[in-house]
Chain A
């Protein structure tokens, strides 16, 4: 997925949004998920009470200014950790939002079957207004506004924005290569497309949702690291709590602010505060390399990869069966076979059938006598039996009563 260009680290809107979020995230229900920062938050609250206590006349805890400074430093620590996380989230969301915007504002040439003045009028509407069942038209140079199925026409389409495939692909009505994806670009010809998805459920929307949703799950290494950090925090809680009776014995009273400061210095505050920001930015990094990671675990696994083996049919190979020659059975001529094969494959829209028609027409073109006879046959066609997956057969009925069938019936 090509992204909307490299964004500066401190774009104004992102920063403002992050600042707002960092205050909202002070809510204990949210902080609770990060044990290290949660304990820092508890320490901050205790310091707040101590400050209040001093103001009300307590003398054993040191001066008010000292305690107030410690309280402010703790608060800033919390806010900064939240800010980093919010900023990372905002950047991720901005990527997704910009992707969504391009999609929503693409102009679509909607075809009104019964228009105000004419039939089949073309109106230009933003792609967000297209609903399932609408028909729109795309010409060379247009960007397809939303997912759909080609009902008329054939075109070459550049799908590199979605699939990364650099060579343009051919899409046409009928057959199994008739669907188009929103966001891709038409390179030639003209097609009429019928919309197949509701707004918000297109392929692009699903991919954006993936990117947004994945960044919030915890990766396996993150979980293990959180356990490590929680363990350390626990040890240092014990260290700080047991310091109180030690000090009691040594007759050196230690004020509460010293306990809390010692505690915050001992626990891995930096890692604890920045861990979630690291996780999110990992996803972001992958996106910038044009890799969509469906989960955080995928990003971690990517770091362990040494060799990547890809097997892709269709790039060097065609990937579909193709007719290359006709071999007649003894007792019939080559041209009889060609006629029968081509006639029975005329309503077979699979690549196999199309290739038979193509090969037949090519071979007939060398022989004017045979191609004349073929044209006569063609004009006598009364009924076409289309190829379906259930019957696995197709064919034609001729006016002289002859029925030509091919397939698996």
Chain B
């Protein structure tokens, strides 16, 4: 599966590079007339080049407009059309959280799709946001690609052009293919409401349906992760067979892989792209392998009870997938910040849990569409800086000197991720430890307001639940240890704030750095330049990432998954 993705991704990367470079591709035939119509209607000139500041202004304005549209849909869905199951309006805090989380490509879902949203909201609100948030990420990455070419300029292409092309040329064709495959596998695609059937026991069961296939496609291709149903890809309708599981896996990883290769093709730095990809792969493998092994070994407590576990740790997992596929999926989904799940993450062993957390804390092994590359770029800047000073030269990347201003931006971005995760978790743990009465902020099913009610598991695993929730928000992942009761004002609002900061700052930062670098004078390669397309440099980048993540997060991990693991053994 991994190799298949790689084989597909390299040519896709070339295709993406052609799209962004403005060259002709075979999809032009279909989409060019549509795009021209669209641009003419909105009177946007797709040829006018913008500098990096204008790009950011357009990006943020568009996102703001979409946010209001989504809020409108969600708050009014009870009377809007296409609501055959008569699902009610969302509560304001949940609507706020959901709108933000889909806007930022995270798709943290504190609601359950069958009962929480109508088909109208799903299709026109959430699916729409899934497309455009992925498109935003891709377009931002395209801006950075453009800036990293070897020349001095401040004209970096047109954002509207990049964005529309990302949606129509890249996302749409792949989604149509994936959705069609799913239709054949048995995913429902209908606008009718709940169906009823008689179960084996003779009761009548209500079965939710909906326009699932289309939703599933963009969910994975755009590394969104928000499932149509609450159980996400563990639901038999959303992920019917082992084959559809494979297709969804490939669909997820495809674009993040392809973006790295697109960078190589676009900037004519193919070797550098391979170095980047290898660093990411090494990190990914280091996380996947232990997770798969632990899941297959099973839960020591259950073994202690004398129950055989031939399938490994099957708690919370789907039988049609098994432990290996679920473990692989869980690590892949956290590494590329998709966040869809085909098993319940809360039931995984501590080592797998820790690997999932690490994947999100580093957040730049592959990463999400577009923004994964941007995060990786920040680490590259840091590594180049450290490496350059070690050899005694002024640090430079791609022929452009890196000076104090770029370092300031890179440090702020690198700082924000741990800050958001740790301070959020700190507030939550403090409240839980003191078991404070949360009042309006939290009320559990029994009506009590005490903070410790939101945990589903005691002690270390409970801590992991809280840590995971904030890490998932800050990494724009969206999966969760769903033992946590998170549909309440406290969690909705706090994770919403984290989501906002952690999406837009890591876009603004790298685009700013790339824009600043593009405007500098180009220094040609000389004998003393620190070569960035070598294995040594890849090792340096990997080391920088691991050290920063390990040092910043190790204390927190030590009190969560690691403590839990030690308790088990």
Contacts and interface: CB of A to CB of B under 8 A. Distances in A.
Contact of B463 (A220, A225, A234, A246): A246
B404 A220 contact: yes
A246 B415 contact: no
Nearest to A262: B555
A75 interface: no
Interface in A361-404: none
B415 A235 contact: yes
B557 to A, nearest CB: 10
A247 B459 CA distance: 11
Contact of B382 (A228, A238, A245): A228
Q: Which of A223, A245, A300 has the most CB of B within 10 A?
A: A245
A305 to B, nearest CB: 9
A249 B418 contact: no
B393 interface: yes
B306 interface: no
Interface string A233-272: 0111011111111111111100000000010001000000
A102 interface: no
Nearest to B431: A245
A228 B422 contact: no
Nearest to B417: A235
Given A220-B403, A227-B404, A235 B430 contact: no
B425 A246 contact: yes
A304 B388 CA distance: 11
Contact of B422 (A239, A251, A262): A239
Interface string B122-145: 000000000000000000000000
A224 interface: yes
A225 to B, nearest CB: 6
A239 B418 contact: yes
B432 A224 contact: no
B551 A236 contact: yes
Interface stretch (B23-31, B182-190, B212-220, B405-413): B405-413
Interface string B357-401: 000000000000000000000000010011001001111000000
Contacts of B425: 242, 246
B559 interface: yes
B559 A247 contact: yes
Interface size on A, as a range, is: 20 to 34
A57 interface: no
- Determine the interface band of chain B, counting residues with CB < 8 A from chain A: 35 or more
A304 B419 CA distance: 36
B54 interface: no
* Chain A interface, DSSP helix/strand/loop, else mixed: helix
B282 interface: no
Contacts of A228: 382, 385-386, 407, 411
B430 A245 contact: yes
B89 interface: no
A120 interface: no
A228 B403 CA distance: 11
Interface in B521-569: 526-528, 548, 551-553, 555-556, 559, 563
A217 interface: no
A306 B528 contact: yes
B451 to A, nearest CB: 10
A368 B402 CA distance: 75
Contacts of B200: none
Contact of B385 (A223, A224, A266): A224
Given A225-B389, A303-B393, A246 B403 contact: no
B303 to A, nearest CB: 26
Nearest to B452: A249
Contacts of B460: 250
A188 to B, nearest CB: 45
Contact of A223 (B404, B412, B555, B559): B404
A250 B559 contact: yes
Contacts of B551: 236, 239, 266
Contacts of A232: 411
B64 interface: no
B379 to A, nearest CB: 13
Nearest to B467: A246
8 contacts: A220-B404, A227-B407, A228-B385, A228-B407, A231-B412, A244-B426, A245-B426, A248-B433
Q: Which 8 A-B pairs have the closest CB atoms?
A: A231-B411, A242-B426, A245-B430, A249-B429, A242-B422, A249-B433, A248-B433, A245-B426
Interface of B: 382, 385-386, 389, 392-395, 402-404, 407-408, 411-412, 414-415, 418-419, 422-423, 425-427, 429-430, 432-434, 459-460, 463, 526-528, 548, 551-553, 555-556, 559, 563
Given A220-B394, A238-B418, 14 more contacts: A224-B385, A227-B411, A228-B385, A228-B386, A230-B411, A234-B415, A239-B552, A242-B422, A245-B430, A248-B430, A248-B433, A250-B463, A303-B393, A304-B528
